[in-house]
Chain A
């Protein structure tokens, strides 16, 4: 086979391989998301819900940001149990 014919074949193989691998990326991503959603839903979101129920003035995104910030700063050891607006 000529070099050009071989390169043409390689083009087909290469593009199909890349497409298959990225299809697998999509498939694996979706499977992991399904598995995690079913068996490992985030605790923080439950906590956010709980805290957000107590607070009316703060919106949920702000509560989520505060909970995440506390978690990061305390390296996962600290927890927000209540948020009160001072004024």
Chain B
């Protein structure tokens, strides 16, 4: 009988019976896997996050990320990585070495930079301003979250979801409120996956048919750009170097993200001579970083941390931040159109948040529905790319003031 009892205690059956939250978390993990695999909602990140969540909630597996207090020895001293691995397992080793140090988001940003083409923005520089207007959702939700009882640091992490940039949201949350990392990462990537739903919803509510029919190419013919770029390659090489230095002077706290983004972009633009570097940045390095980022972020979502009212507020607040950011960009274009002769399609404003290039593709599809000849993709990419810079700068401001 004693042997049978020991055998029973060896299994995790009693843990499942004692903690119904564990079962609920496994259901959430399965749901996220379904969304990633079947619905293809950001599968590259959602699948590792969901599996990390499942691993973290398997009783006795020791794969859940433990709170920072467990690895803190005194106010300024922490366990070393060997001690963390020994005491809390490999998932905590990965989390505290790769995530808590803020290492992986900038690495992913390097890959994003190597995949980004600044060309559309350089050809339509004035559209870059709408990437600023679309950051309004970040700060509006920051205010609202404080009113609902979040601390300023937590509210900043919640608001950054409105920037629609996964690595930026994760980096900011690591710096400001690491205990909210799981729900914020899930909200950020879920809403990015829902861009094809959210952008049309907000755009159709705020724009008239006449506005959505504004043809940007016709406008370019009526009011041609003052100057053409005679050597786009040289401009594209010089741009990340100069911009990186200037941003470092004004918002140094955004350098880990933007610096790596611009470095990634530089090696892409230099071309064949460093093709191996850009291949590595966009291929093996980015893919490896994505796997570890997804798994470890998922592993922060244990039932004790995830199942609370704050998580629901983050999911709702994230959606509001997203919607306000889109609305902010659209309204900025509308105000601009009141005074300008050369009108801009408000969809260009709607893509002022990050989520590159999906937001631009969705905006293009909306424009084509109203006028099959109205291809706005290149114009939307201009504000979309500036939105990446804008959200990283906003993150830098939040980290400087709240970190």
| Residue contact A11 to B233, C-beta cutoff 8 Å | no
Residue among A6, A21, A22, A32 with the highest chain B CB neighbour number at 10 A = A21
Within 8 Å CB of B228, what residues of A?
Answer: 37
What separation, in Å, do the CA atoms of A7 and B151 have in the docked complex? 10
What separation, in Å, do the CA atoms of A45 and B229 have in the docked complex? 11
Within 8 Å CB of B156, what residues of A?
Answer: 10
Q: Is A36 an interface residue (CB 8 A)?
A: yes
Chain B interface main SS type? helix
Shortest Cβ-Cβ A-B pairs, 3 listed: A42-B231, A11-B139, A41-B230
Question: How many B residues touch the partner, as a band?
Answer: 35 or more
Chain A interface main SS type? helix
| Residue contact A14 to B394, C-beta cutoff 8 Å | yes
Q: Is A65 an interface residue (CB 8 A)?
A: no
Within 8 Å CB of A8, what residues of B?
Answer: 143
Interfacial residues of chain A within 23-52, with CB under 8 A of chain B in the complex: 23-26, 28-30, 32-37, 40-42, 45
Q: Is B227 an interface residue (CB 8 A)?
A: yes
Q: How far is the CB of B134 from chain A (nearest CB, A)?
A: 9
Write the residues of chain B forming the contact surface with A, with a CB cutoff of 8 angstroms. Answer: 121-122, 125-126, 128-129, 131-132, 135-136, 138-140, 142-143, 146-147, 151-152, 155-156, 227-235, 238-239, 242-243, 246-247, 250-251, 272, 386, 389-390, 393-394, 397-398, 401-402
| Residue contact B235 to A15, C-beta cutoff 8 Å | no
| Residue contact A10 to B231, C-beta cutoff 8 Å | no
What separation, in Å, do the CA atoms of A75 and B135 have in the docked complex? 41
Interface size on A, residues (CB 8 A): 36
What separation, in Å, do the CA atoms of A4 and B142 have in the docked complex? 9
| Residue contact A32 to B231, C-beta cutoff 8 Å | no
What separation, in Å, do the CA atoms of A80 and B129 have in the docked complex? 40
| Residue contact B142 to A10, C-beta cutoff 8 Å | yes
Within 8 Å CB of B402, what residues of A?
Answer: 10
Q: Is A3 an interface residue (CB 8 A)?
A: yes
What separation, in Å, do the CA atoms of A76 and B231 have in the docked complex? 15
Within 8 Å CB of A18, what residues of B?
Answer: 132, 135, 390, 393-394, 397
A37-B139 contact given A14-B397, A17-B393, A22-B128, CB 8 Å threshold: no
Within 8 Å CB of A35, what residues of B?
Answer: 238
| Residue contact A21 to B234, C-beta cutoff 8 Å | no
Within 8 Å CB of B394, what residues of A?
Answer: 14, 17-18
Chain A residue nearest to B118 (CB atoms) is: A29
| Residue contact A26 to B250, C-beta cutoff 8 Å | no
A7-B155 contact given A18-B393, A32-B238, CB 8 Å threshold: yes
